[in-house]
Amino acid sequence: MIRAMVRRALERFPAKWVPVRVNKTRQNKKREPRSDLVGAAKALVLAAAFAAALTPVPCLGESSKPLPAKATQELPAELLALLEQKKMPKYSPIVVRLFKEEAELEVWKQDTAGRFQFLKTYPICRWSGDLGPKLYEGDRQAPEGFYTITPELMNPNSNFYLSINLGYPNSFDKANKRNGSFLMIHGDCWSSGCYAMTDEQISEIYSLARDSLSGRPSFQVQAYPFRLTPANLARHRNNPNLAFWKMLKVGNDHFETTGREPKVDVCNRRYVFDAQPPANSPSPLVFNPNEKCPPFVVNPEITRRAQEKQRADERVYAQLLEDNVPAAPIYSGLDGGMNKAFLAKFPGRVTLAKVMPYASYLPQLPPIPWIDNDGSLTSKWFGTSFSGPVVCDAARASFPTGRC
């Protein structure tokens, strides 16, 4: 791991050749300076890591220094026109939705009626790990769940162009003893536990996020393994994460049926959505992620809409099981994914996983063919395309500030 981090650091910050006087030997008859490249590289890496550990991340709105131009640039004219067309004020709130299997990032934005409407889809250039939540530092898994992004999590000085820290682990992750750090949405199309976009894409996403934080404390990111449709859940019915994904689906359904950002709480080590105190409650709700949930109710209109969708989805799901729709492998054997839109630009990045996060309790699967004749991933299993080598999760522990 250390060698990989040094190599990555050298790629981004090439060491200078340091002249060092050497003794005259039979092999070195001329007294010429040599280069202590390895020593210089180690010194640079260690110094950077040490300084990073002592220096706070210069985040959005925290530094007295002027922000770099890439963090302050205006949205493209085409996107501003789209906002006007969809009646979405420039500074209205956003919700970001991530879908691993489809390798897509969606931005939804609040319109003048106060509802969140779909704005734009950005194909994800790279995500790492497998379907399923992040469990521990270094497992290369990109997080799944509901995350709150505050201005302090926006990094305008990222070495991956621009980055948005997901704030992992959140209170749910901590309650379930999951750990990891520096999990981002960022540019550069390289990832190890992150959702990586191209620099052009993250420029737009960052600007939308920045504008949405004008005058408000946060926005929400919803990270899913795939679109939580009955068909996808039926394909992944054998996955040990199915119960977790069905829990996420409750929040997903609240959002999709109401056009409102779901209020997220955690109690009894579970997500709870849109909870409010019962009528005539003498005190406000207090949620402890590790303790039993307090009595609460959900707005009847939200409940009605979400339950209607849930019942309809369950009928379709049951029919798919009756039809014995083929089940996807529990473990793909691949290290993450890439949207097919980037296959031609970044060829050869589909690799076998270096880490098997579920190997301790999942059966070993035989090798699987992951490329079709047309160069795309086997659609009957995944329906999208996957890709290659990466850096951002465990390495960030040694390069904390501004590195991701």
Are 84 and 53 a contacting pair, CB within 8 Å? no
- End-to-end CA, the chain: 17
Angle (CA) 202 208 211, round 5°: 135
Q: Are strands 219-224 and 94-99 parallel, antiparallel or unpaired?
A: parallel
Whose tokens are 């109690």? That residue is 267
| Residue 237: both structure tokens together | 């019915």
Copy the structure tokens of residue 265.
């709480």
> Residue by residue, what is the 3-state secondary structure of 375-400?
CCCCCCCCCCCCCCCCCCCHHHHCCC
Given 59, 125, 189, 194, the catalytic residue: 194
pLDDT tens track, the chain, 404 positions = 444 444 444 444 433 333 333 343 333 333 333 333 334 344 443 444 433 333 334 455 455 578 999 999 999 999 999 999 999 999 999 999 999 999 999 999 999 999 999 999 999 999 999 999 999 999 999 999 999 999 999 999 999 999 999 999 999 999 999 999 999 999 999 888 899 999 999 999 999 999 999 999 999 999 999 999 999 999 999 999 999 999 999 999 999 999 999 999 999 999 999 999 999 888 899 999 999 999 999 999 999 999 999 999 999 999 999 999 999 999 888 888 999 999 888 876 656 666 444 433 433 433 333 333 333 332 333 333 333 333 343 333 333 333 34
**In this structure, how many other beta carbons lie within 10 angstroms of the beta carbon of residue 165?**
24
How many C-beta atoms surround the C-beta of residue 204 within 10 A?
A: 19
CB atoms within 10 A of CB 205: 22
CA angle 33, 39, 41 (to 5 degrees): 110
Is position 293 annotated as part of the catalytic site?
A: no
pTM assigned to the model: 0.75
The catalytically annotated residue of 186, 189, 254, 404 is 186
Q: Could you confirm whether 254 is annotated as catalytic?
A: no
